[in-house]
Amino acid sequence: MRNQSDEVLTNGKGKEIPIEMVRDDHLKKHKLVMKVFAAGVKLEQKIMKDKQRMLNRITTYQRWLEKHYGGTVEFKNLILSDYSNEHKIEIKSNRIIEFDEKIQLAETLLKKSIKSWSKDSNRNMVVIIDEIFKTDKKGFLDKNKILSLKQYKITDPDWQAAIKLIDDSINIVDRKSYMMIKYKVGNTWKCLNLNFSSAETE
């Protein structure tokens, strides 16, 4: 955001234009956009504060449970319902992960493992591994595809060593929590639409 004085406006090329030289329709549009933008900023700040306030209340309940019953309660993925089971809060927590350089060693070991199997399965499996470790247009690996390899109970030592390398290469860079507030209409659960962009207007 760039601060504009009352006397000049800065155009898209970074050039300051005296306000009296700006066309009326451009000036009106500029003022409209800036008013809506300012209102949007206030709304975003309010949503962030309200969400934090809600999460704080849930944390307070968590601390009460721990004190009342003993032990530790982790609200990573949970559902809280009211007494009538007509309203509920769902909280989901996702890890944001990245792989370090050991992921390349894991790919090499997986291919080495496959080459020790029968020649008939060798060629097709190498193609599958190549596809799993293929990066997208931005150069990122598909984490879900790679992690899906862990579900296979393959006893080959190189394969097991590769799976361990995949585990060791994981770095948790962030965590994100998502909260959904739902209510029941008949037998159907509906979610409060807190997405400003898709919220319906009168």
Q: What is the gyration radius of the CA atoms in the chain, in angstroms? A: 27
Q: Quick one: pLDDT at residue 37?
A: 96
User: Rounded to whole angstroms, how far apart are CA atoms 105 and 168?
Assistant: 11
Q: Quick one: pLDDT at residue 29?
A: 95
Query: What pTM did the predictor assign?
Result: 0.60
Q: Quick one: pLDDT at residue 102?
A: 92
Q: Quick one: pLDDT at residue 186?
A: 93
Q: Quick one: pLDDT at residue 126?
A: 78
User: Rounded to whole angstroms, how far apart are CA atoms 77 and 158?
Assistant: 35
User: Rounded to whole angstroms, how far apart are CA atoms 133 and 123?
Assistant: 16
Residues 6+ apart with CB under 8 A from 98: 170, 171, 173
**DSSP character string of the chain:** -----SSEEE-TTS-EEEGGGS-HHHHHHHHHHHHHHHHHHHHHHHHHHHHHHHHHHHHHHHHHHHHHH-S----SSEEEE-TTSSEEEEEEEEEEEEE-THHHHHHHHHHHHHHTS-HHHHHHHHHHHHHHT-B-TTS-B-HHHHHGGGG-----HHHHHHHHHHHHHEEEEEEEEEEEEEEEETTEEEE----TTT----
Q: Which residues of the chain have pLDDT under 50?
A: 1-2
